[in-house]
Structure formats: C-alpha cells, structure tokens
Amino acid sequence: MGILSNILGKIFNRKPKAAPQPAPTGTAPAPQAAPAPAPEPVDVEAVLEELAAENPQKLNWRTSIVDLMKLVGMESSLAERKELADELGYTGDKSDSATMNIWLHKEVLKKLAENGGKVPASLLD
C-alpha cells in the first residue's frame, strides 16, 4: 500500500463520533432492508478539523503537508515525503523541500477530492 493510499484510508475510513444506538427490543421480525443509498462524499475538512480538535499539537494541516501527515498519524519525514512525491509523479527538484512540500499538499488534497472527498475550493487553490 502506498503512502497516498494510507492517507486516503486514514481520512475516508475514520468513523465519525455518533450517539450510541439503543438495542432493539421485542421479537418482531426485522423489516427488509432497502438497498443502501450511494455513500455521501467524505467531508475531508470536517474529518481533519475533528482530528485537529483531538490533537494536543497545533497542526496547520490546511497549508502544511508535514502537519497533515502528522495529523492523520503518519510519519512525515523528508524520506517519506520524497517517496510520496515519487508516488504522485513529482518532477521538480526534491532537494528544494519547500517547493516540493507545497506541491505535495496541493496534490494530496486534489487526490482526496478525486477519490470521493468533499474538499472546499479554498483548499484546492
């Protein structure tokens, strides 16, 4: 599994906190379930905001690929980011980490949107 797949999984598979459902009572047969509706797009911003609220560090995930990776519980070392850059087809100079990081951040958010995530336009610019 690649680094991008890992990021997607950590965001898309996060279960939102929900109120516990009461256990069914009685012996009536369960009604036939209707076909499941198409899944709603994952609200990427909401998931990341929830993670940020739970994290003791102040992480600037909106502009930093390092902080975004840390927020979802991943290694954010330069080696990991270079590997992610290779995976995503980065053609720039990887020794210019600032430029690479900006590109990675934009590309990861774009990939989140392409794979079913709801990402605000302000984060895709």
pLDDT category at 19 given cuts 50, 70, 90 is very low
What is the model's pLDDT at position 120?
92
pLDDT above 70 for 9: yes
- Work out the average pLDDT over 77-103: 97
Please tell me the pTM assigned to this model.
0.79
Amino acid of residue 103: W
What is the model's pLDDT at position 58?
94
Show me where the domains of the chain are located. 1-11+40-115
**Tokens at residue 122, please?**
């302000």
Cβ atoms 123, 108 nearer than 8 A: no
Between the CA of residue 77 and those of 51, 96, 101, what are the distances in Å?
20, 14, 11
Q: Beta-strand (E) ranges in the chain?
A: 42-43, 117-118
**Separation CA 101–CA 3 (nearest Å):** 15
